[in-house]
A and B are shown apart, each in its own frame.
Chain A
């Protein structure tokens, strides 16, 4: 992944700052609550939602389990349709390929469709370093780019900004990048959208190079699919002469027919619409219509490592709808930046530590950035059991063990900072294996009830600082059972 996020503090520290920001919390609360009710309504319109969700899960699983076959098939069909396929093992390689392709056109700039994959690899920064300017054209990505900010949501990267802040950013920054914002710009969303339209139009009309990601790639036909709302995607996919698409290898579906599932579940899960305003599909190049040079860059960047984990690989089913972010109580309060990755929220908490490994402080803390309430699993249109993967990753952080990094099997050492937890679990295990000791301990705990502290001393302090300690009952369960035989002899 890109270096932008290296050295990020662990989630609890980053979240503490966000939670103290009243404006941010208000913005997030408003936005997530708006979309929740709408999503529920959009989903309830479809009587076979459960079947569509199951089919989506199975199609994605099947594809992932035979990914080598489908990658080769995709390469063949894209090539046959006039596209050129490139393979990038990591972010640096993908950036090199795209930079080289843009330089071959001789153009100093490119227009971009919103793409998580290019955010993940830090493509804009890589192009900038080579003197190429990449213009974000999605409204929210534009807000983030103008504000020198970082995205905080998969669907709406500027979700942490409210209309007033957006107006201020437009007024202050637009003139640096092109057409300035009009005098006396107000903060009505329609006027802000109009300002973005005018600002970006000149860039679209002169663009010679477009850069995109893709929501789906069809192995059977070589077709790429981009799902969007604004039309900036259509602009970038049809007006330039050269189109470069950077897509994660997990975005494949086997057949054209498979799209019938995802084109129903994705819009309803993400923007809570029956259908998003625009969907573009293209297969290689078409004579006299759209870009005549098409390059597809297939990106690994940690995806094959994720695939090697039998529990964690389900994260690769993700179709980036963002429903899990919008229902997550932790995301709603902490915001996206605290997750230290372009993939925030519940999906980010299981995707980032797998794509990047759990070596850094932020990645080792992400599996804990959850209350395990399961709301994310309920709404996921491809039924990713996020809580299951979170628990699995917690175990990996605490105990270490064998993982795959950059294609090689390595043995992880247990992470620092979990010694107390490990000691407590070992002690519990020993106690449960020695019933006599357990009984003695329970009786002692019951008799000293009145003297128990409200918080734990020493290493337990961090744990009890945010939790109520459970009260100890007057007698252990086993003593009660022996005395009353399960209540049959009357309690007391």
Chain B
């Protein structure tokens, strides 16, 4: 008997007392907390992102290219990682060297890049969370991890939901997902939170409204 059969056999014997008909699950928790307008939901997202030390900026679609240029310049970035499907006009004002997200790049090469700019799949206001799903405007998981500076662009209000349940509904589990709530942090020293460990130590979020 192999271990698979052994374990499944043990489970079945252990559950001899369990009747076949079980009460269905109750889900009487809330789908979202509180009632907010679309604008208030975006405000809550901005507030919660900032609370966990992300730097939040707001602009219109027409101002986006200039804002990205300014953020890269202020940081002193000379190179920026670019996912394959990033709208080209986002970087049209920036004169930094663009590094493309390629399968062949090594981790050491990524480590030498100053910044990375991506879109996102969905943003969750109640928790201040950005979710990336590897779509063409977001690229491979590692590109938002190794560089020390991440600029993430969120389209508001279209990409913003209120709650975790609403966020999960919009996501495809078959895609590899990265949920980001502020820059990396740790509570490992005396259970007190310190920001900035292995992930990007600076997370800038741009909330882009319509013109």
Q: Sort chain B's interface into a size bin.
A: 35 or more
| A439 on interface, CB distance cutoff 8 Å | no
Known: A189-B194, A230-B199. A264 touches B164 (CB 8 A): yes
Closest residue of chain B to A231 (Cβ to Cβ) is B199
The answer on a CB contact under 8 Å between B196 and A194 is yes
Kindly list chain A residues whose C-beta atoms are within 8 Å of the C-beta of B129.
275
Kindly identify which residue among B6, B15, B184 contacts A277, using a CB–CB cutoff of 8 Å.
B184
| A447 on interface, CB distance cutoff 8 Å | no
Known: A140-B188, A193-B189, A229-B186. A288 touches B107 (CB 8 A): no
Kindly identify which residue among A34, A162, A197, A290 contacts B198, using a CB–CB cutoff of 8 Å.
A197
Closest residue of chain A to B53 (Cβ to Cβ) is A277
The answer on a CB contact under 8 Å between A238 and B145 is yes
- Partner-contacting stretch, out of A86-94, A334-342, A357-365, A388-396: A86-94
CA distance A294 to B158 in the complex (A): 35
Known: A204-B107, A205-B108. A278 touches B199 (CB 8 A): yes
Kindly list chain A residues whose C-beta atoms are within 8 Å of the C-beta of B124.
275
| A276 on interface, CB distance cutoff 8 Å | yes
The answer on a CB contact under 8 Å between A48 and B185 is no
CA distance A47 to B124 in the complex (A): 17
Kindly list chain A residues whose C-beta atoms are within 8 Å of the C-beta of B179.
275, 278-281
* Chain A, interface SS category: helix
- Partner-contacting stretch, out of B61-69, B70-78, B88-96, B170-178: B170-178
Kindly list chain B residues whose C-beta atoms are within 8 Å of the C-beta of A223.
173
| B27 on interface, CB distance cutoff 8 Å | yes
Known: A65-B15, A196-B197, A232-B198. A280 touches B164 (CB 8 A): no
CA distance A259 to B165 in the complex (A): 8
The answer on a CB contact under 8 Å between B183 and A277 is yes
Closest residue of chain B to A138 (Cβ to Cβ) is B188
The answer on a CB contact under 8 Å between B12 and A260 is no
The answer on a CB contact under 8 Å between B140 and A288 is yes
CA distance A156 to B179 in the complex (A): 21
The answer on a CB contact under 8 Å between A31 and B190 is yes
| A386 on interface, CB distance cutoff 8 Å | no
Q: How many A-B pairs with Cβ below 8 Å?
A: 252
The answer on a CB contact under 8 Å between A71 and B183 is no
Q: How far is the CB of A162 from chain B (nearest CB, A)?
A: 6
In residues 1-29 of chain B, which contact A (Cβ within 8 Å)?
2-4, 6-15, 17-18, 22, 25-29
Kindly list chain B residues whose C-beta atoms are within 8 Å of the C-beta of A415.
none
In residues 84-125 of chain B, which contact A (Cβ within 8 Å)?
103, 106-108, 111, 124
Kindly list chain A residues whose C-beta atoms are within 8 Å of the C-beta of B30.
47-48, 51
Q: How far is the CB of B11 from chain A (nearest CB, A)?
A: 5
Kindly list chain B residues whose C-beta atoms are within 8 Å of the C-beta of A89.
3, 6-7
Complex interface bits, A125-161 against B, C-beta within 8 A gives 1, otherwise 0: 0000000000001111001000000000001101100
The answer on a CB contact under 8 Å between B189 and A189 is yes
The answer on a CB contact under 8 Å between B7 and A231 is no
Known: A235-B198, A239-B107, A283-B176. A275 touches B188 (CB 8 A): no
Q: List 23 A-B contacts (CB under 8 A).
A: A48-B33, A55-B26, A59-B25, A65-B15, A89-B7, A139-B197, A158-B188, A193-B196, A200-B198, A206-B107, A221-B173, A230-B186, A230-B199, A231-B145, A256-B173, A275-B164, A277-B183, A279-B177, A280-B176, A280-B177, A300-B10, A304-B10, A304-B14
User: Top 8 nearest A-B pairs by Cβ distance?
Assistant: A231-B199, A231-B198, A304-B10, A308-B14, A275-B127, A279-B179, A230-B197, A140-B188
Give chain B's interface residues, CB within 8 Å of chain A. Answer: 2-4, 6-15, 17-18, 22, 25-30, 33, 48, 52, 103, 106-108, 111, 124, 126-129, 134, 140-142, 145-146, 164-165, 168-169, 173-194, 196-200
